[in-house]
Amino acid sequence: MSGKARADRFGEVVMPHLADALSLARWLTGNADDAEDVVQEACLKAHAGIATYAGGNARAWLLAIVRNASYSWLARNRPRSIVAVGNLADLDEVAAPRETDADSPEAALIAKADTAAVETAIARLPQAFREVLVLRDINGLSYREISAMLDVPLGTVMSRLSRARGLLMSELGDKR
């Protein structure tokens, strides 16, 4: 594959999904600066392997590369005792609606407190549950795509997601 063809294919396959790649990397590393390093590394790997991309879901392909790059980066740069957590800035779509003229400052404060509670609850999830929850509910990947990405059976994905959601509901229910 020529350099121009590789660049064109990279632009078509990878570039539209960079925001999702950065979002996943932020959730896995717990830090925006580290996530940028991971995504840069993942893009280099994706560019090197773009000729082997066989089609299908480009987003899932890129997120799998980002996931692997995140764990490689974390193994090289962080001691195992540090727990990575995400940032709910990535959840704007599912957060409470922004304040309108009809909303009061009290409603905005309650929404902010709810967002903080969800962030804390997600951060407390075990890594395997948090990863499946983020891939499914935030990044919108299908069960099959997550199964292939994590190299676990489909039933395991469904079980982990169910357990993650149950733990979140339990944690958030206890706070109210």
The model's pLDDT over 12-53, given as tens digits with 9 standing for 90+, comes to: 999 999 999 998 998 888 888 999 999 999 999 999 999 888
Give 76-101 pLDDT, tens digit per residue: 887 654 444 555 454 444 444 444 54
| Residue at 39: amino acid letter | V
Mean pLDDT, residues 115-125: 80
Q: Give this prediction's pTM.
A: 0.68
Output the pLDDT for position 84: 46
Output the pLDDT for position 103: 62
Neighbours of 83 (CB within 10 A): 12
Output the pLDDT for position 174: 61
Output the pLDDT for position 118: 78
Q: Decide: 154 and 147 in contact? Cβ < 8 Å.
A: yes
Output the pLDDT for position 6: 87
Query: Cα(107)–Cα(135) distance, rounded to whole angstroms?
Result: 30
Mean pLDDT, residues 50-73: 91
Task: Identify the weakest region by mean pLDDT among 31-40, 51-60, 110-119.
Answer: 110-119
pLDDT of residue 151 exceeding 70, the answer is yes
pLDDT bin (cut points 50, 70, 90) of residue 152 is very high
Angle CA 124–144–166, to nearest 5: 30
pLDDT of residue 163 exceeding 70, the answer is yes
